[in-house]
Structure 1
């Protein structure tokens, strides 16, 4: 049903998408701006490789503690997450295929946890032991990570999930990861509030009004479509109608973003925001980047050794 819905919906827009003006087609080929040079972004292939490598590490850790663990498969959402953008920027190619990803997310069947049935069949004490080995215990050893602009994060260091991450990425990974994510969130928030971006968004809203959509903010179409999805529930016909409308709106949204020069203004604003960052805020960036690249190499090596 999901595949049929999106093939049908995409076909309804095929004529409009194939006739994209040259400027919009060129814009689709440009890398979307992302905080910190895209250090937090992975391609779909990279994300899948890292997931598989981390799951192998979890399985080995659990086995060392006497528990059976089956690797959770890579989900269908990896491609869409890789194509996503923290600023909500769209290309016509992504918009025509997935819209905003809202309807397809509702229709998507997330991969089942292959451990669920086996663990549910365990005696209560064994089940608690299995879950404690995987996730850690409340009174077990923990690392407290204080974020500059957020709460303190508590990480159970004896959990196999943590052991696996650190085996793949390195011992300081959790602290580096939370710190860099917090920094990126700050950059996105300040960039979206920048005068350059707000001016471009006003132009976007005017463009959308010319297309027949009276939106003031870029979140407006997403909120409208979410309400429609809630109303549609699980009704196939309503979901199909909502999917077609989502694709129509998203394709027009992407075109108006190009017309307003939104991606260019986000890039300019982001550059100014990042230049104003104090050195203390970026002190873990290089360590994070090195750990990320090292994990990708190890994931590739592990994959090659099992083929």
Structure 2
């Protein structure tokens, strides 16, 4: 089991000042989270792209409901883009200083609005129209073809998107597993751990950092003052984590190892599937952009 040992919630989480010139960013250090390596960027969307796609999907849902004779507005006041941590635990200094380890805020989830039966059925569909879609790697997913949510997603992304996205999410785990066993990655990870140990963070593996940060935050749940202090300390720890990753050239090691791992899983039909997924992604983003322009044009009239 990977382990990280940090001080208690009420104490400082360590010293994070390293003055060596080796801590300066390398020429190839990624500047944004989107520039960090991920197994399949085809299934990753930046917050801006997620927002554009969500707005397009909402308009398509509302159009589907109108076709069924129902006036409906998607309630999305509490919706936020789903910002995922890098699957390898990689950070940039700018993201680390702003968001730390993407720790959850203490807030109550907004309750789903209760809908009349007719609206609920139109939105979510019926069991009579439930269909199983087989997945290329085994298993299946169930969809209700009379659901306005399903109709909108098919219109925006294409009917093959769900199965293909699920397939490459599964393959992503395979790629990450292979990368984490690669000698280039393990050597860089050892250098990273040594860097953090010199800053008084006794760590062993990269993937332990964010989960441990969550546990530290949970330990002060309900105490607003302690939570604010811990968040500040964890953000500083994330900045040092990012600096040590840069010093150890972890992103470069991941990029090299990931290239070989991807080539290993993209055999036969998988390569064709990825090309199709890439085309569906491009079509969805183009559609969302066009719908946004049309919506802005209508607002001017």
Q: TM-score, normalised by structure 1?
A: 0.80
Note the C-alpha offset of 1:298: 1.0
1:191, distance to aligned residue in structure 2 (A): 1.7
Q: Aligned pair 1:161/2:160, yes or no?
A: no
Stretches of 4+ aligned residues off by more than 4 angstroms:
19-22, 74-77
Q: Cα distance, 1:165 vs. partner?
A: 0.6
User: Once the two structures are superposed, what CA deviation does each residue of 1:226-246 show, in whole Å capped at 9, x if it has no partner?
Assistant: 222222113210110111111
Q: 1:139 to 1:191 in 2, by over 3 A?
A: farther
Q: How far, CA to CA, are the matches of 2:134 and 2:194 in structure 1?
A: 44
In 2: Cα distance, 1:20 partner to 1:97 partner = 23
Aligned residue for 2:73, secondary structure, equals coil
Q: Displacement, 1:57?
A: 0.9
Change (3 A) 1:293 1:56: same
Please tell me whether residue 263 in structure 1 is matched to residue 251 in structure 2: yes
> Match for residue 27 of structure 1?
29
Q: In 1, distance between residues paired with 2:270 and 2:238? A: 35
Cα drift, residue 21 of structure 1? 5.5
Of 160-169 and 135-144, deviating more is 135-144
Q: Aligned to 2:219, what secondary structure does the other structure show?
A: helix
Structure 1 residues 196-205 or 179-188, which shifts more?
179-188
Matched residue SS, 1:165 = helix
Structure 1 residue 116 corresponds to structure 2 residue 113: yes
Structure 1 Cα separation of the partners of residues 169 and 139 of structure 2: 13
Asked if residue 50 in structure 1 is aligned to residue 56 in structure 2, the reply is no
Matched, 1:106 2:105: yes
Structure 2 residue aligned with 1:189, among 151, 174, 177?
A: 177
- Which has the bigger relative contact order, CA under 8 A and spacing at least 6? 2
Q: Is the 8 A contact 1:35 1:188 kept in 2?
A: yes
The question of whether the paired residues in 2 share the 8 Å contact of 1:24 and 1:255 is answered with no
Q: How many residues align?
A: 276
1:59 positional shift: 1.4
Aligned-partner Cα distance in 2 for 1:245–1:29: 22
Partner residue of 1:135 out of 108, 120, 124:
124
| Matched residue SS, 1:89 | coil
Matched, 1:207 2:195: yes
Where does residue 91 of structure 2 map in the other structure? 90
Report the CA distance shift for 1:52/1:255 in structure 2 as closer, same or farther (over 3 A). Answer: same
- Asked if the contact 1:183/1:281 (under 8 Å) is kept, the reply is no
* Residue 146 (str. 1) matches residue 135 (str. 2): yes
Q: Which residue of 2 aligns with 1:219?
A: 207
Between the aligned partners of 2:283 and 2:183, the Cα distance in structure 1 is 38
Cα separation, 2, equivalents of 1:76 and 1:163:
20
The answer for unaligned runs of 5 or more in structure 1 is: 1-14
Which position in structure 2 is the counterpart of 1:235?
Answer: 223
Q: Does the Cα contact within 8 Å between 1:28 and 1:93 map onto a contact in 2?
A: no
Gap change, CA 1:181 and 1:79, over 3 Å in 2: closer
Instruction: State the 1:218 CA deviation.
Output: 1.9
Q: How far 1:274 sits from its partner (Å)? A: 1.6
Q: Contact 2:213–2:234 (CA<8 Å) still a contact in 1?
A: yes
Give the secondary structure class of the aligned counterpart of 2:132.
strand
Match of 2:285 among 257, 282, 296: 296
Task: Tell whether the 8 Å contact from 2:156 to 2:287 is kept in structure 1 after alignment.
Answer: yes
Q: Distance in 1 between matches of 2:24 and 2:249?
A: 15
Measured on the aligned residues, the alpha-carbon RMSD in Å equals: 2.8
